[in-house]
Structure 1
Amino acid sequence: MPALDDPQTRTAVDALRAGALRWLAGGVLAVVLGLLMGAAVVRIVENGGSRPPFAGLMVVALVAGGVAVTVVGLGSLVRVRRWTAALARTEWRSGLLRIAGPAVLQVEPLGFDEFTDEPLRLQLMSTAVWRTRAVQQLNGADVRYAEVSEQEWLLTADGAGTLYGARAARRR
């Protein structure tokens, strides 16, 4: 059964997509507000009024910040689309999560033998502290994981409500 057919997975993907759309909409809204504010300031000055203090700085901040947030939203939408396609063609595997460092994970597949098998070593992709801590709280828990590409993996656990992206950890 493809991983995307699981109701929990579908809910998690939908939540990630909604978050990406919120980022995108917020960025576009900030750019539009910045442009409207700039046009309003120009109209005020053209009609003989005094320029509002910090108006130019606010316009630049709204437009620049809005562009940055829009790029983040687009990137998130692309990532969710890639993850959705991968989950539609692969199945979840089960394993035990071990935390090996602040964002370094090891997944021991079911039936793992520490003397003969090699665990899956991953580096969490998230830079958000709260997401890293949420994964760290799963230490010793049963998780499900799926391969997106040779270097990218997804993790989730029952009740997590989200997907965590990770990259294959490089050997030192």
Structure 2
Amino acid sequence: MDPAAWARPETRRSFAAYRRGALRWFAGGLVGVTAAIGLSAYAVQVLKRPGLGVFIVAAVILGLLGLIIGAGGLVRAQRFRKVLQRAPWQRARLRVAGPHLRLVFSADAETAADADRDQQGGVDVRLMTTSRWRVRAVVGYRDGEVLLCPAQDGSYVLTAQGMNNLYGLLPLERQPGRYRP
């Protein structure tokens, strides 16, 4: 049996990079909200310009958005860590067709659930993220070999050599008539 994915130093570095990104979002949101609240008191009491309230409300909303994104990233990071500590990496070939991905597992890799596989041994998935730069980073590995760590709920954690980050993948439900990779 292969050791858990967490035993590899590259995995821990990729996890640290993912977690740092989430912490940056969270810290940025916290700073934004704090600065907006401090500026609101300053604008009203010292400058006597309550018209700045619109900009301050916008800053609070953006700060809250950063807090929510950061908190979500930290929750996903903890989930990824549990998956990586439990299961080994599996090798697969990444196929891309529009917003969907197909993972074709190597013959020597442990098989995924038979319900998720078609005749060619592929699993159809989509990225958890919609961030353009993260999608481009994954699509850059088109037709290349990637490493996957399966979760118990059918989702996957993806990385590749040189990617230095982690990406979450969700399985697609079977919907007849929809274009699939």
TM-score interval, smaller chain: 0.7 to 0.9
Letter in 1 for 2:54: L
Determine if the alignment matches structure 1 residue 104 to structure 2 residue 100: yes
Contact 2:105-2:121 at 8 Å conserved across structures? no
Report the more deviating stretch, 12-21 or 102-111: 102-111
Matches within 5 A, 1:31-42: 31-42=33-44
Quick check: 1:145 aligned with 2:143?
no
TM-score of the pair, normalised by structure 1: 0.88
Question: Secondary structure in 2 aligned to 1:158?
Answer: coil
Shift of 1:133: 1.9
Contact 2:4–2:87 (CA<8 Å) still a contact in 1?
A: yes
Contact 1:102-1:132 within 8 A present in 2 as well = no
Are 2:65 and 1:68 equivalent residues in the alignment? yes
How many Å separate the matches in 1 of 2:148 and 2:30? 34
Residue 20 in structure 1 maps to residue 30 in structure 2: no
Return the alpha-carbon distance in structure 2 between the equivalents of residues 5 and 68 of structure 1. Answer: 34
Structure 2, unaligned runs of 5 or more: 109-117, 176-181
Q: How many percent of aligned residue pairs carry the same amino acid? A: 32
Output the TM-score relative to the length of structure 2.
0.84
Number of paired residues? 164
Q: Deviations over 1:53-85 (max 9, x none)?
A: x51112101111111110111111000011101
Aligned residue in 1 for 2:113: none
C-alpha distance in 1, partners of 2:20/2:99?
25
Q: Structure 1: 5+ residue runs without aligned partners?
A: none
What residue number does 1:51 align with? 49
Given that residues 123 and 169 in structure 1 are in contact (C-alpha distance below 8 angstroms), is that contact kept between their aligned partners in structure 2? Answer: yes
CA RMSD of aligned residues (A): 1.8
Match in the other structure for 2:92: 95
